[in-house]
């Protein structure tokens, strides 16, 4: 595999450290997409050999996607991406509650956290505003960056139908205690509800970095996002025995594809790429994890050496685990806003937080504020996320780039 963390432009070698925003296509993935588009271009619903060929490609991809998360082939519903998968979960929870209690005047209740991606938070807020749900947002602990199982249980009500807590945070990398949350929610549900409370996790940032197993996590739904693990920009939803055990109700209606859960003629090429990306994860997750953690730890060590006493790592808690590739660092100093540092970096491509908030350059990350990071430090944060082929030599270039950028900003401040 060629090194994708670098791109040579004249005498400048760019170092890409924004893998939590998106990843490039792995060469094997690109090859599988091309092969499917060139050789398996038939409609998967057609009965002739070209249709059968395309259907086989999709079946193989579905198998690897399921295996990657510990599910069964029939548990996987292909979607356009994480946003659609998350919306499909909430739509299904609401429709399930309506069918369980057709005469009830009480709205279904959803619980989520203040750490969630916009594709979760904005969706449930819109549903609440439109009178479709009641909503409780539990807060993460300032001492751990995690949502506690106790706070989730405290939010439950007899009309609670769904819980949605992300698996790993996209800005801090902190891994949430999903297994414990699932256990306490299901225990409470059996004792206090006449229905099952459905547990969902958006695993976009976890897949490809740590092992993900739906059985260990005991979740009912899990969101899969291809472009976070070197796959194409489509996704999938894991649902445990959809329509049999776990409700899945379509948002779209059409030709019956995806067992009517998500109709529309299948995008065979992109599905093939998603399957190949999942296969790579299945075969190499230990190597990916070890390499990214080694380089991320080296990055943090070098930051401390280069800026002694002037950096703080957001999300680095003694009692919390992080995904192995994520470093969220704040530089102490009045003129060292994250976006100002980024503007002066010559070689490093990074972000100040979620790519979805990239237009709000002068605003501290709401995720960092949610876990108790002070405004001044939150505003000075950079998110540096490692890829599969990021090297220690790349990190050395980044450190030199940061030194120069911060020296420039410090000089500018001194002259004012």
Helix%, strand%, coil% for the chain, nearest 5:
45, 15, 40
Is residue 13 located within the same domain as residue 150? no
User: In the prediction, which pLDDT does 13 show?
Assistant: 76
Is residue 177 located within the same domain as residue 293? no
* CATH code, 100: 3.40.640.10
Is residue 312 located within the same domain as residue 334? yes
Is residue 19 located within the same domain as residue 47? no
Calculate the CA dihedral of residues 353, 356, 361, 362 and round it to 10 degrees. -80
Active site residue 93: no
With H, G, I as helix, E, B as strand and everything else as coil, classify residue 42.
coil
Is residue 137 located within the same domain as residue 267? yes
Residue 141: is it exposed, middle or buried by C-beta count within 10 angstroms (0-12/13-18/19+)? middle
User: In the prediction, which pLDDT does 1 show?
Assistant: 40
Over residues 305-354, the pLDDT tens digits come to: 999 999 999 999 999 999 999 999 999 998 899 999 999 999 999 999 75
Is residue 260 located within the same domain as residue 363? no
Q: Is residue 210 part of a domain?
A: yes
Q: Is residue 268 part of a domain?
A: yes
Catalytic one among 93, 193, 282, 356? 356
User: In the prediction, which pLDDT does 415 show?
Assistant: 67
Is residue 52 located within the same domain as residue 64? yes
Q: To the nearest whole percent, how much of the chain has pLDDT over 70?
A: 94
Q: Where a domain ends, among 252, 280, 308?
A: 280
Q: Where a domain ends, among 244, 264, 280?
A: 280
Written as one string, the DSSP assignment of 130-156 is TTS-EEEEEPPPTTTSS--HHHHHHH-
Over residues 227-244, the pLDDT tens digits come to: 999 999 999 999 999 999
Is residue 206 located within the same domain as residue 333? no
For the chain, how many structural domains are there in total?
A: 2
User: In the prediction, which pLDDT does 411 show?
Assistant: 81
Q: Which long-range contacts (CB under 8 A, 24 or more apart) does 286-291 make?
A: 288/208, 288/209, 288/388, 289/209, 289/210, 289/211, 289/324, 290/324, 291/388
- Minimum mean pLDDT range among 8-12, 28-32, 118-122, 296-300: 8-12
Question: Across residues 135-151, what is the average pLDDT?
Answer: 97
Cα-flanking dihedrals φ and ψ of residue 264, to 5°? 130, 135
pLDDT of 364 strictly over 80 = yes
Q: Where a domain ends, among 280, 305, 337?
A: 280
* CATH code, 295: 3.90.1150.10
The model carries a pTM of: 0.94
Residue 319: is it exposed, middle or buried by C-beta count within 10 angstroms (0-12/13-18/19+)? exposed
User: In the prediction, which pLDDT does 416 show?
Assistant: 63
Tell me, rounded to whole angstroms, the distance of Cα 122 from its chain centroid: 15
> How confident is residue 205, by pLDDT bands cut at 50, 70 and 90?
very high
pLDDT of 224 strictly over 50 = yes
User: In the prediction, which pLDDT does 334 show?
Assistant: 85
> How confident is residue 143, by pLDDT bands cut at 50, 70 and 90?
very high
Is residue 59 located within the same domain as residue 204? yes
Q: Is residue 201 part of a domain?
A: yes
Question: Across residues 117-128, what is the average pLDDT?
Answer: 97
Over residues 38-49, the pLDDT tens digits come to: 999 999 989 999
pLDDT of 355 strictly over 90 = no
Contact 144, 117 (CB under 8 A): no
Q: How far apart are CA 377 and CA 338, in angstroms?
A: 9
What is the residue range of 348's domain? Answer: 6-25+285-415
Is residue 248 located within the same domain as residue 294? no
């Amino acid at each position: 595999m060629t090194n994708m963390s670098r791109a040579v432009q004249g005498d400048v070698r760019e170092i890409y450290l924004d893998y939590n925003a998106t990843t490039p296509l792995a060469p094997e993935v690109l090859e599988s997409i091309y092969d499917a588009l060139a050789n398996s271009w038939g409609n998967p619903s057609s009965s002739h050999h070209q249709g059968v060929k395309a259907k086989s490609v999709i079946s193989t991809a579905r198998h690897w996607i399921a295996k990657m998360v510990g599910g069964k082939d029939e548990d996987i519903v292909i979607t356009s991406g994480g946003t659609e998968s998350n919306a499909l979960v909430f739509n299904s929870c609401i429709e399930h509650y309506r069918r369980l209690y057709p005469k009830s005047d009480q709205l279904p209740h959803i619980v989520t956290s203040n750490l969630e991606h916009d594709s979760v938070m904005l969706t449930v807020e819109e549903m609440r505003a439109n009178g479709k749900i009641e909503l409780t947002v539990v807060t993460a602990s300032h001492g751990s960056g995690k949502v506690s199982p106790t706070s989730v249980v405290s939010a439950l009500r007899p009309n609670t139908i769904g819980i949605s807590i992300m698996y790993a945070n996209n800005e801090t990398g902190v891994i949430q205690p999903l297994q414990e949350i699932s256990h306490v929610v299901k225990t409470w549900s059996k004792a206090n509800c006449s229905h099952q409370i459905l547990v969902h996790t958006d695993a976009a940032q976890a897949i490809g970095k740590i092992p993900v197993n739906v059985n260990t996590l005991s979740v009912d739904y899990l969101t899969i996002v291809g472009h976070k693990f070197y796959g194409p920009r489509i996704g999938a939803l894991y649902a445990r025995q959809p329509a049999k055990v776990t409700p899945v109700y379509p948002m779209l209606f059409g030709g019956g594809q995806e067992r009517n859960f998500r109709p529309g003629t299948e995008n065979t090429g992109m599905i093939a790429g998603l399957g190949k990306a999942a296969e790579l994860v299945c075969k190499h997750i230990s190597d990916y994890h070890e390499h990214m953690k080694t380089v991320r730890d080296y990055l943090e060590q070098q930051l401390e050496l280069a800026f002694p006493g002037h950096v703080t790592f957001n999300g680095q808690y003694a009692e919390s685990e992080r995904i192995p590739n994520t470093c969220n660092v704040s530089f102490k100093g009045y003129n060292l806003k994250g976006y100002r540092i980024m503007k002066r970096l010559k070689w490093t491509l990074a972000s100040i937080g979620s790519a979805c908030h990239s237009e709000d350059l002068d605003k501290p990350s709401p995720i960092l504020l949610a876990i108790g990071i002070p405004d001044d430090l939150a505003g000075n944060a950079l998110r540096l996320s490692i890829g599969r082929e990021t090297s220690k030599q790349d990190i050395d270039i980044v450190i030199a780039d940061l030194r120069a950028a911060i020296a420039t900003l410090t000089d500018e401040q001194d002259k004012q």
